[in-house]
Amino acid sequence: MYEHDVIVVGAGGAGLRAAIAAHEAGADTAIVSKLHPVRSHTGAAEGGINAALQEGDDWELHAYDTMKGSDYLGDAPAVETLAQDAPEDTMRLEHWGMPFSREEDGRVSQRPFGGLSYPRTTYAGAETGHHLLHVMYEQVVKRGIQVYDEWYVMNLATSDEPNPKDRECHGVVAYDVQSGQIEGFKANQGVILATGGPGQAFDHTTNAVSCTGDGHAIAYRAGVPLEDMEFIQFHPTSLPSTGVLISEGVRGEGGILYNEDGERFMFEHGYANNAGELASRDVVSRAELTEVNEGRGVNDEYVHLDMRHLGEERILDRLENILHLAEDFEGVDGLVEPMPVKPGQHYAMGGIETDENGQTCISGLYAAGECACVSVHGGNRLGGNALPELIVFGKRAGRHAAGDDLGEPQIKTGYGNDVEDETDVELPVTPGSAGIGTDDGVAADGGPRSASDARSDGGIATDAAGAIERAVERERERVDRLMDRDTGIQHAEIRQKLQTAMTDYVNVFRTEEGVKKALRIIRECREEYQDVYVDDPSRTFNTDLQQTYETRNLIDVAETIALGALVRTEFRGAHWRAEHQERKDEEWLKHTLISWNGGKPDIFYRPVILEGDEKTYEPKVRSY
């Protein structure tokens, strides 16, 4: 067993920032990550970091834009914290050597971005995320913070009280991918989950293969509610074969979208008569899919993004990296042919419910970054708002876990008096745990109660070391079970089925029938998963085993997305419902929360906090 004060799970932007903050606050900090830190998906971010840095700009404007962008589903305390802290934390990056793009006078450049009332997106070329990630990893190296890289976190070690709010998180169980060894990690002060997005729940995503929602799933099964999971952002221009993102810059420079018949459908079919290709992400994504669904898609799959008319010179000058992307990942030369594009899953607005200090309802358990939902993005994230979220809330979580006093949070977490219970939605299938034990056969972390659980006193284990030992034992048994079996189904098949269902039915367009179908398929996947086995018999670098674990997490996460999509009967932000074409503020100014509840998902709601420090944000029609 390894022991540290603070254990950070995940080493993307959020995890690294949290670790640095915890270390600076004096805690003995360690990072456990399934990838080496510089491999994290934060490195893929291109656009930039929103921060009100310049004179003339103001954090309040940033907060206002963010709230409006969220379609009034962001919580004001979180939104204001983000806007207030972003400038300082961005400058901190500058002082750590981040190579920001510069103005003539040597100051950092800022550029305009969708939905912003002031050009406040700070950037470093078209590789902002890469630099952010590397600069922060460098600081981790400088501070000598211990990194357990290529250690896959399988589960949390929490205590077992019936009410999640009484539980305590003592650490995690992880396995060393290289050697296959399973070990407990004891966290004396806190565990911070920073495991990134759940993009792999969809089969077409701009997210990395490693974005499997592990943190979501393990927190969820330990009793923390997942919040607003139905809000998924789809980016209109990703390459069809890989999902690699083609930046909005192409359309910004004048790139045009065509359907199979060569029509400029954004105008000719009236999707956006004013903004055309430059309409907001959700509008363009829906337009593209409508074209495809109505039989006007190229190869019935995608549309064309054409930039040839911009001329070679302009393209080489401003969009050179796009040429490389199209060439390297799609085999298409953007100078001579149009590029195929289609909408791809891009970002999850929802996530593990936390307060503005990053804390969840389980004491000692924190979440930050894309896996968390504070919530700042509400129904729709503005471009350039995810990276500041990583550094602002990563830092806060780290400091809080290390014992710094950040004040009483205004955002409440967990099931409590302030929530609204509404379980009258009709579900097509029973969600939640399958086969593995009955209701009370499921331990707090979602695993089955096993022989090793039996304690002489029959009561709840409160001692940390004991909780960790039990959790380790449970994972060892699970692994043995998966490895010993040599017939059944392989995870890849289940994952494929799950991803296809999500993309078919819980995509840009959502109908009641479709989402229900998805829930049924997810249920099937869950049942099939009972027979899953790991074919690779080796303990050395067994990615088969790791992916089998990830697939299980994806099932849980996909289910919450579909459940959320089914119960939210309105059209807000990125969530579009065929039967409900307007935003319903009277009924739906509230967050969807889903908690595992011992294997039987429980759905409830918490009102959005629109009162900020000085002003209240009045919901307005979101138009640009």
Partner 1 sequence: MSTQQPEPESQEAPTDPEFQGAESSVDEAERSGGDIDQTAADPTDLEGETVLIKVFRYDPEVEAKQEPRFDDFHVPFTKGMTALDAVIYARDQYDSSLTFRHSCRQAVCGSDAFFINGKQRLACKTQIAELEQPIRIEPLPHQEVVKDLVVDMDHFYDQMHAVEPYFQNEETPAIEDLEEQRQSRENREKIKMSTRCIWCGACMSSCNIAAGDNEYLGPAAINKAYRFAMDDREPEEIKEHRLRIVEQEHGVWRCQTQFSCTEVCPKDIPLTEHIQELKREAVKKNLKFW
Partner 2 sequence: MSQSYNRGLVEDFSRWKEFSAGMWAWIFHKFTGWMLIGYLFTHIAVLSTATSGEMVEVNAADLPNVEGTGMTEVPLYDATLGGLESLLIIRILEVGLLAVAVFHILNGIRLLMVDLGIGLEAQDKSFYASLILTGIITVASVPTFLAGVGF
Ligand X SMILES: Cc1cc2nc3c(=O)[nH]c(=O)nc-3n(C[C@H](O)[C@H](O)[C@H](O)COP(=O)(O)OP(=O)(O)OC[C@H]3O[C@@H](n4cnc5c(N)ncnc54)[C@H](O)[C@@H]3O)c2cc1C
Shortest spacing between CB 82 and ligand X, in angstroms = 11
| Candidate list 316, 425, 492, 578; residue touching partner 1; CB under 8 A | 492
Shortest spacing between CB 321 and partner 1, in angstroms = 10
What distance in Å separates the CA atoms of residue 343 and residue 234, rounded to the nearest whole number? 6
Is 281 labeled as catalytic in the residue annotation? Answer: yes
| Candidate list 5, 445, 544, 556; residue touching partner 1; CB under 8 A | 544
* Residue 298 touches which of partner 1, ligand X, partner 2, none (Cβ within 5-8 Å per kind): partner 1
If the CB atoms of residues 116 and 567 are measured against ligand X, the closer one turns out to be 116
Shortest spacing between CB 257 and partner 1, in angstroms = 17
| Candidate list 330, 353, 370, 389; residue touching partner 1; CB under 8 A | 330
| Candidate list 117, 178, 293, 462; residue touching partner 1; CB under 8 A | 178
Q: Which two tokens stand for residue 528?
A: 């099939």
Measured between alpha carbons, how far is residue 141 from residues 37, 151, 335, 401 in Å? 11, 18, 42, 21
What distance in Å separates the CA atoms of residue 223 and residue 158, rounded to the nearest whole number? 10
Quick check: helix, strand or coil at residue 124?
Answer: coil
| Candidate list 81, 128, 139, 233; residue touching partner 1; CB under 8 A | 139
Answer yes or no whether residue 553 interacts with partner 1 by CB under 8 A: no
User: Interaction with partner 1 in 266-285: which residues (CB under 8 A)?
Assistant: none
Shortest spacing between CB 176 and partner 2, in angstroms = 9
If the CB atoms of residues 2 and 617 are measured against partner 2, the closer one turns out to be 2
Binding-site size, partner 1 (CB under 8 A): 74
Shortest spacing between CB 539 and partner 2, in angstroms = 8
Q: Give the DSSP letter string of 388-438.
A: HHHHHHHHHHHHHHTT------SS--SS-TT-EE---PPPSS--S--SSS-
* Residue 33 touches which of partner 1, ligand X, partner 2, none (Cβ within 5-8 Å per kind): ligand X
If the CB atoms of residues 65 and 150 are measured against partner 2, the closer one turns out to be 150
What distance in Å separates the CA atoms of residue 25 and residue 131, rounded to the nearest whole number? 24
Answer yes or no whether residue 102 interacts with partner 1 by CB under 8 A: yes
What distance in Å separates the CA atoms of residue 18 and residue 552, rounded to the nearest whole number? 27
If the CB atoms of residues 48 and 338 are measured against ligand X, the closer one turns out to be 48
Quick check: helix, strand or coil at residue 191?
Answer: strand
The site for ligand X (CB under 6 A) is made up of 9-15, 32-35, 40-42, 44-48, 128-129, 152-153, 194-197, 206-207, 210-211, 214-215, 245, 347, 369-371, 383-387, 390
Q: Which helix (H) or strand (E) holds 611?
A: none
User: Interaction with partner 1 in 575-614: which residues (CB under 8 A)?
Assistant: none
Answer yes or no whether residue 487 interacts with partner 1 by CB under 8 A: no
If the CB atoms of residues 150 and 160 are measured against partner 2, the closer one turns out to be 150
What distance in Å separates the CA atoms of residue 128 and residue 150, rounded to the nearest whole number? 24
What distance in Å separates the CA atoms of residue 419 and residue 422, rounded to the nearest whole number? 10
DSSP secondary structure letter of residue 355: -
If the CB atoms of residues 35 and 522 are measured against partner 1, the closer one turns out to be 35
What distance in Å separates the CA atoms of residue 366 and residue 144, rounded to the nearest whole number? 22
Q: Of 281, 296, 478, 552, which residue is the catalytic one?
A: 281
Q: Are 491 and 547 in contact (CB under 8 A)?
A: yes
What distance in Å separates the CA atoms of residue 424 and residue 159, rounded to the nearest whole number? 31
Rounded to the nearest 10 degrees, what angle do helices 512-529 and 491-505 cross at?
170
By the 10 Å C-beta count (0-12 exposed, 13-18 middle, 19+ buried), 579 is classed as: exposed
The site for partner 2 (CB under 8 A) is made up of 178-180, 540
Per-residue H/E/C for 63-119: HHHHHHHCCCCCCHHHHHHHHHHHHHHHHHHHHCCCCCCECCCCCECEECCCCCCCC
**Residue span binding partner 1 (CB under 8 A) among the ranges 56-64, 186-194, 203-211, 449-457:** 203-211
Answer yes or no whether residue 488 interacts with partner 1 by CB under 8 A: no
| Binding-site string for partner 1 from residue 41 to residue 80, where x marks contact by CB under 8 A and - marks none | x-xx--------x---------------------------
If the CB atoms of residues 8 and 35 are measured against partner 1, the closer one turns out to be 35
Q: Cite the active site residues.
A: 281
